[in-house]
Amino acid sequence: MGSVTMAAEDRIRVGLLICPGLRLQKCLAEVDDLNFVTHVTVPVLMLNGRYDYIWPGPTSQEPKFRLLGTPSGQKRRVVYKAGHGIPENEWIKETLDWLDLYLGPVK
């Protein structure tokens, strides 16, 4: 639902997607990622596991990343040697660096 929210809510200034991918099964148009992902224009950090069995890389993760409407210089995908759960200490550091970059460091 991250793509839906980022595309529909203009108060969101930066996006973070942890273990996302495009839904492989049919769903209602009003919640289908394919109808929203190209409308996401905020900077997006996408964190995935290489061995994710829910959102497989080549068929789910990579297409979602490519379809994001965010300019290529403002989107980043990090892939961990993990499944559908990435190491917490690593994604926290990556996330804080991303948020500092686009929202400024917390003082």
Given a cut of 80, whether residue 24 has pLDDT beyond it is no
**What is the residue-wise DSSP string for 14-74?**
SEEEES-----S---GGG-GGGTGGG--S-EEEEEETT-SSS-IIIIIHHHHHH--S-GGG
Q: Which two tokens stand for residue 100?
A: 């500092």
Q: Which two tokens stand for residue 9?
A: 């809510």
Domains and CATH numbers, the chain: 2-103 (3.40.50.1820)
User: pLDDT averaged over the chain?
Assistant: 94
Given a cut of 80, whether residue 87 has pLDDT beyond it is yes
Q: Which residue in the block uniquely carries the two structure tokens 């996302």?
A: 20
Q: Which two tokens stand for residue 2?
A: 């991250």
Confidence of residue 27 (pLDDT cuts 50, 70, 90): confident
